[in-house]
């Protein structure tokens, strides 16, 4: 994982997502998930391009199954966009970079 992507867990979830002043994109993933590995380079690019404007975080569903369950994540990868501590959009599966950046741009304004 790059320095631009934060590894999310129960202890830093509130600070990184709910209290964030920037839009947040959460990638609910697992290491064994092939589609999750396919979207990882796209998320790395987005994290680098949006550094300072938005935050990209990854949550390992195997290591944090309570958080995954709390958000009703049943399939991975699930990408959840947050703004001002609230869920704005959710997509499941591998998505093109353009779709992710379009959503972030809309959230940033």
Exactly one of 13, 30, 33, 90 is catalytic; name it. 33
Q: What is the residue whose two structure tokens read 């999750």?
A: 36
DSSP string, 9-67: -TTTHIIIIIT-SS-EEEEEE-TT-HHHHHHHHHHHHHHHHTTTT-EEEEEETTTTHHH
Give the three-class secondary structure for 85: coil
Q: Which of 6, 25, 26, 36 is catalytic?
A: 36
Residue 42 among the catalytic residues:
no
Can 36 be counted among the known catalytic residues? Answer: yes
Query: Which residues are designated catalytic?
Result: 33, 36
């Amino acid at each position: 994982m790059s320095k631009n992507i934060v590894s999310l867990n129960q202890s830093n979830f509130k600070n990184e997502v709910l209290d964030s002043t920037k839009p947040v994109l959460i990638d609910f993933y697992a290491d064994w998930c092939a589609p999750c590995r396919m979207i990882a380079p796209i998320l790395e690019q987005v994290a680098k391009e949006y550094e300072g404007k938005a935050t990209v975080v990854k949550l390992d569903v195997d290591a944090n199954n309570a958080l995954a369950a709390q958000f009703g994540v049943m399939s991975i990868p699930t990408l959840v966009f947050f703004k001002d501590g609230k869920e704005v959009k959710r997509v499941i599966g591998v998505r093109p970079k353009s779709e992710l950046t379009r959503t972030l741009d809309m959230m940033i304004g």
